[in-house]
Every structure is written in C-alpha cells, then in structure tokens.
Amino acid sequence: MLAASVSIWDVRDIMKTMVLGTGAVGSVTAEILAHSEDFEQVILADVNMERAKRTEKKISNDKVVVKKVDASDLDVMVKAFKGVDLILNGVIPRFNLKIMEACLKAGSSYADMAWDVALDTTPAGGVIKETPAWNQLKMDEAFKKSGLSGMMGLGCDPGLSNIFARMAADNMDKVKEILVRDGDNGTVEGHKFAPLWSPETLIEEVLMPATYFRDGQYRKLPPFSGKEMFDFPDPVGKLPIYNVDHEESETLPTFIGQVLGKGCDYCDFKIALDDTYVEAIQMVGMLGLANPGKVDVKGTKVSPRDVVAACLPDPSTLGERAKGDCAIGTLTKGVKDGQDVSYFIWIQMNHEKTFKKYGHSATGDTVGAPLAIAAILYAQGKITQKGVFPPEMLDPAPWPEMLKKYGMPVHTLKQIRY
C-alpha cells in the first residue's frame, strides 16, 4: 500500500513523445507538452532542422531534444520511433500511412490531426465507394493486436468538431443532421493571401469535390458549392461559407450514426472563405499549379503545388501579424423526448490575444492544442482505446475542462422546438 504522503502521480510511468513536424501547428503541440508533467521527454522531429531548432529555442526546456527524421523514409522512422510511447504526427497527411506503419514496427502509439482526403477521386455528383478515412481505419486490427492506439484527426476540425458532435449526440435520442462550420474573419498584415495553416492542405482541400452524406451514402459536391451566409457568434459575425472537402463528413455519419446507434440523415462541412481567397485558389487551380505531381521545368522535376507553397510565407512565422477572430463549431440537429433539439457547440479565439499570450496565431493554437490535450489524456490513462479510431469515439467528458485550461473555453447554444 502506498504511503499517505505519496501521490499516485509520483509513481506513474512518465512517457516519451515525439512531435513529427514542427511547423505552425506542431510547434504549438510541442510547447504545451514540454511544460506538461506527463512527459519526461519531448522529441522535436523534422526534416528541416532549422525549423526544429527554432521551436526548441522558443520552448527553452531541458526535456526537449531535436532529431532529424524524414517522414518519407520508413526505416529512418522505425529507428527513431523505438522507445517512444506516442508519436504525434504534425506533417501533411500524405505521409500518414507510412508513419502509422513505422509506429506498428516500432511499437509506438500514434495520433494525427488530419488524414489524406485527396486519396478519393470520386467526381462531383458521384457516390463514394470508400472514404479515404478507411485507409487508416483498415489498420485497426493491426494496432489492436499490437496493443497500440491510433488516434485520427485530433486537431480542431477535424478533432474538436467531431467531439462536439458526440457531445450533442449523447444528449439526443436521434441525430438528424451534423453541420460543421469553420469561420475566421482574420487577416495577415502585409499579405493579401497568406494561409495560417499548411498552404498545401488548403489548396488541396478547397479545389477538390466536397464530401457530404445524404440518404445513407457518402457523396460529392462541386468545389466552392453551397455558398450561403452563416451567422457565427460575435465577434466573428456573418460570413460567406462554402462546401469544402473535409474529414468530418467521412466518419461522423458512420460512427455517430451506426456505431453509436444515433442515426444521421445528413452531414457536411463548410468553411468561410472571402473573395480574395476564392479568386486566388481558383486561379491556382486553373493554371494547373495545384498539381502535386512532378513536372519538367528546364530539366528539373518540380511539383507545381510545392512551388506555390514555397512562394507563400511560412505559416509558423505569421502569428504576430494575424488579426481578427475565429469560431469553429458543430451544429447538430436531432430529437430528444419527441421534441426537435439542436446544439451549436463551438470555440472562438482572437488571433492577436492568442499571440500575445501564447506566441502563435489562433489557427495554430486551435489545431495544435487539441492534439497536445489528447496526448496528455493518453498519458494520464484517460484514453485507453486500442486500435484505430476517429475523435467521436473518445469519451468527451474530460475535454471541456481541458480546453478551458488551455485557453479554449467551450460554448454551447441549445435550442428546442416544441
């Protein structure tokens, strides 16, 4: 029996974690974990050592170490992952499957912030045979056999948006619609076009046909379709939103609707985009500059999309110049005790206040902090599931308190129609 003066937390196993990718979002995750009691070591892994060392210098904590790791090299990752309890994937989603394979070989659990929606090529108007989420979900059995957790899409959206849908669904007898809404009225001083997260991901997502769920099937809409005005809570306000391909629409109808037995008739994702963004991204697409493949340029093979991304400012350097507010939430409609009920559950952040307090933009914070929270809950034994699963399969109970602790209080608007 433990002596009364000894806390269980004093004798628990303290874990090692690795943040793979130390850009605008991964650096946020790393900083939170470096100041957490739950990890004895936080490894900053990146192919770009300058970026990793910049993050290390900013964190300035003895438990942080830097390691060069190439997410395209399976053998290098397996060697680097051995002895690390949890790998936190902060690189672009095209590397997810290889990183997960390395985790299985090394015996490390895994979490990411998004998955590769570009793997589906279903045209607008078509029905999707199998959503890209299942490329990772197919590894469920392998992770279970290895006693490992594979947590998918634990950023803000996907991530918190899925958890908010689960929170609402838990208070309903039946779910009818799940509508994820992402609004940001922010600007970056000195730039007319400067994404605050991965430019590659932004270009890829908004130019692809958008996934939505209706009549029991996953379907595709044309990019930039479904424009409408959505009244986000103040101070974000009313903004134009568009259908965009996004992860939530690929899993929520299956896991909320079928696995949890709540049903789901319709699900989509829409994001606020101003005219400058829409025009710029459409032009990138028309010129063929969204192509991720290699083209010959005077004898050199280059990816047009990589060139566009390289010409844009590094999102991890833009926090100080970001102004405005964002609100990300999920509107879930359903039935409780025979009455129609809806919940809009959201978080909102101010870019300037976030930078002054944390040293990065609200975009980086809202995506990077949830991944860090998931890692902490995992280390504390509050996430125990094995296998591969999306965020809506997590117990949502600890999340509001944890989000408040890290500066992201959860807001809820409930409406009942009699």
Domain boundaries, the chain: 8-151, 160-359+407-417
Instruction: For the full predicted model, state whether its pTM sits above 0.75.
Output: yes
Rg (CA), the chain: 21
Average pLDDT over residues 394-410: 95
The contacts of residue 302 (CB under 8 Å, 6+ apart) are 294, 295
Average pLDDT over residues 123-136: 96
Kindly report the number of other CB atoms within 10 A of residue 3's CB atom: 5
Q: Is 395 helix (H, G, I), strand (E, B) or coil?
A: coil
Q: Per mean pLDDT, which range of 75-84, 198-207, 237-246, 277-286 is the poorest? A: 198-207
| Backbone φ, ψ for residue 313 (5° rounding) | -65, 145
Closest CA to 82 of 66, 106, 110: 106
Order of strands across the sheet that contains 39-46: 64-68, 39-46, 15-20, 86-89, 109-112, 149-151, 387-389
CATH class of 8-151: alpha beta
Which two tokens mark 225? 């379709």
Alpha-carbon distance of 339 to 414, in angstroms, equals 13
Closest CA to 270 of 238, 233, 224, 237: 224
* pLDDT number for residue 215: 92
Residue type, 10: D
What is the share, in percent, of the chain residues with pLDDT greater than 90? 67
CATH superfamily of 160-359+407-417: Dihydrodipicolinate Reductase; domain 2 (3.30.360.10)
Mean pLDDT for the chain? 90
* pLDDT number for residue 246: 94
Q: Check if the beta carbon of residue 17 is closer than 8 Å to that of residue 87.
A: yes
Q: Per mean pLDDT, which range of 100-109, 351-360, 402-411 is the poorest? A: 351-360
Asked whether the predicted pLDDT for residue 137 surpasses 90, the reply is: yes
* pLDDT number for residue 11: 36
- What pLDDT band is residue 13 in, cutting at 50, 70 and 90? low
The contacts of residue 26 (CB under 8 Å, 6+ apart) are 19, 20, 46, 55, 88, 90, 91, 368
- What pLDDT band is residue 24 in, cutting at 50, 70 and 90? confident
Identify the burial level of 1 via C-beta atoms within 10 angstroms of its C-beta, where 0-12 means exposed, 13-18 middle and 19 or more buried: exposed
* pLDDT number for residue 154: 97
Asked whether the predicted pLDDT for residue 6 surpasses 60, the reply is: no
| Backbone φ, ψ for residue 385 (5° rounding) | -60, 140
Asked whether the predicted pLDDT for residue 14 surpasses 80, the reply is: no
Asked whether the predicted pLDDT for residue 279 surpasses 50, the reply is: yes
* pLDDT number for residue 115: 95
* pLDDT number for residue 314: 74
Alpha-carbon distance of 385 to 398, in angstroms, equals 15
Q: Is 207 helix (H, G, I), strand (E, B) or coil?
A: helix
| Backbone φ, ψ for residue 294 (5° rounding) | -90, 140
Place of tokens 């199998």: 130
- Helix/strand/coil percent split, the chain, to 5: 35, 30, 35
Residues 168-213: tens digit of each pLDDT: 999 999 999 999 999 998 878 777 777 666 777 777 777 889 999 9
| Backbone φ, ψ for residue 42 (5° rounding) | -120, 115
Residues 339-354: tens digit of each pLDDT: 999 999 999 999 888 8
> Is the CA virtual torsion 258, 260, 263, 266 positive or negative?
negative
